[in-house]
Structure 1
Amino acid sequence: MSQTKIAVVVGSLRRDSFNKTLAGALAKLAPADVTLVPVEIGDLPLYNQDDDANQAPSVKRLKAEIAAAQGVIFVTPEYNRSIPGVLKNAIDHASRPYGQSVWGGKPAGVIGVSVGAIGTALAQQHLRNILAYLDMPTLGQPEAFVQMKEGLFDADGAIGAASRDFVKGWLDRYLAFVKTHAG
């Protein structure tokens, strides 16, 4: 049985980020033949087109990690009704120089958690627009706008009992989506 590798890009740098916790919880729910690989984006320089011909080592590493994955899960917070700048910066780096994007064709899943009642709905919509341009087939349903509430995560950082079936269902659906786009 071959191992499926999914890159996980978390759009938050905060040490105690709910979205980092969600990414870790997703990894705990993954089946044995799937590895969710966290992708570091906090060490990337600000994107500058002048650097396209000589990309920083951290940018080359990011591009290699995305290229090696069969799919990408974006776990995004919502900052001012959109995606965080650090996430957009990573997306821009891995899409450049023009014609050398590593995103194209990679099946994407979008999820996020926020304290707000609508979760990260608006950030996810903005991100979906970007992913469409990047030619990333993106799971449409189920949508996962997760609200941070007591009990969402248990003491070990796993998804709590009340939300486990929903989050596991989202992950299972995404992994089936990846398989439909394989090869």
Structure 2
Amino acid sequence: MVNPDINNDVKILAFAGSLRKGSFNKAVLRAAKELAPESMDIEIFDLQGIPLYNADVEAKGDPKRVAAFKEAIRQADGLLIATPEYNHGVPAVTKNAVDWASRTPKDAPLNKKPVGILGASPGMTGSARGQSQLRQALEASNSYCMPKPEILVFRAHEKFDGNGNLTDEATRKYLGKYLEALHDWVNKFI
């Protein structure tokens, strides 16, 4: 349950580290938006169009899509990142988003931003390794990553229907509790 002593509404920017249309991680963010506490507004940002980080490009000014991404992070009270796991690690799409958002270090949108991480995977570890590597990158960007609870949606192909709806009741219940914890975590920093 959301801590009743903390009554601040929070605005969360969420993104999935996957570009695939049928991504389980995009689907889990849609479920999070549906299950969020009343005092939490989740806006989902699609990373499609964010180029690979390149300091030469950055030196000329952020590309339009990157500038929009950074501004959306700045306007949010906190972040929710849904990361897949590819080859036992954080995928390039997720890491690239973090790389752009950590620049430039003195005014990076990720600096001192509270963050929640989750992930969905068809595998048995539910993106545990990807989440672990993502935590390391967020630590380097001076973000405040929520330590507990963790949510690892394993065997995701069994928990979503063909339309990308989260149908597994146990996962839905745990996701709701996770979002309450994220609400309280973000409120510690705003």
Normalised to the residue count of structure 1, the TM-score between the two structures is 0.92
Deviations 1:90-112 (A, max 9, x none): 11112223423110111110100
In structure 2, how many angstroms separate the alpha carbons of the residues matched to 1:45 and 1:156?
Answer: 26
Q: Which residue of 1 aligns with 2:179?
A: 171
Q: Secondary structure at the match of 1:81?
A: coil
In structure 1, how many angstroms separate the alpha carbons of the residues matched to 2:92 and 2:76?
Answer: 23
Shift in alpha-carbon separation, 1:100–1:52, aligned structure 2, 3 A = farther
Does 25-34 or 66-75 show the bigger shift?
A: 25-34
Q: Which residue of 2 aligns with 1:160?
A: 168
Deviations 1:77-129 (A, max 9, x none): 00111111111111111222342311011111010011111110000000000
Structure 2 contact 118–131 (Cα < 8 Å) conserved: yes
Q: Which residue of 2 aligns with 1:16?
A: 22
Q: Which has the higher contact order (CA 8 A, sep 6+)?
A: 2
Q: Which residue of 2 aligns with 1:40?
A: 46
* Cα drift, residue 168 of structure 1: 1.0
In structure 1, how many angstroms separate the alpha carbons of the residues matched to 2:157 and 2:13?
Answer: 28
The two structures, once aligned, show a CA RMSD in angstroms of: 1.8
Q: Which residue of 2 aligns with 1:69?
A: 76
Structure 2 contact 37–179 (Cα < 8 Å) conserved: no
Give the counterpart letter for 1:38 in structure 2. I
Q: Which residue of 2 aligns with 1:49?
A: 55
Deviations 1:13-64 (A, max 9, x none): 1110111100000000012222111112120111110122311111110110
Shift in alpha-carbon separation, 1:133–1:174, aligned structure 2, 3 A = same
The alignment of Structure 1 onto Structure 2 pairs a total of residues equal to 182
Give the counterpart letter for 1:152 in structure 2. K
Are positions 1:88 and 2:123 aligned together?
no
Q: What is the aligned counterpart of 2:127 among 106, 114, 120? A: 120
In structure 2, how many angstroms separate the alpha carbons of the residues matched to 1:98 and 1:180?
Answer: 23
Q: Which residue of 1 aligns with 2:11?
A: 5
* Cα drift, residue 161 of structure 1: 1.6
Give the counterpart letter for 2:30 in structure 1. G
* Cα drift, residue 159 of structure 1: 4.8
Identical columns (%): 33
Shift in alpha-carbon separation, 1:181–1:97, aligned structure 2, 3 A = closer
Q: Secondary structure at the match of 2:107?
A: coil
In structure 2, how many angstroms separate the alpha carbons of the residues matched to 1:101 and 1:16?
Answer: 31
Structure 1 contact 78–84 (Cα < 8 Å) conserved: yes
Normalised to the residue count of structure 2, the TM-score between the two structures is 0.89
Shift in alpha-carbon separation, 1:180–1:98, aligned structure 2, 3 A = closer
Q: What is the aligned counterpart of 2:110 among 103, 110, 113? A: 103
Give the counterpart letter for 1:181 in structure 2. F
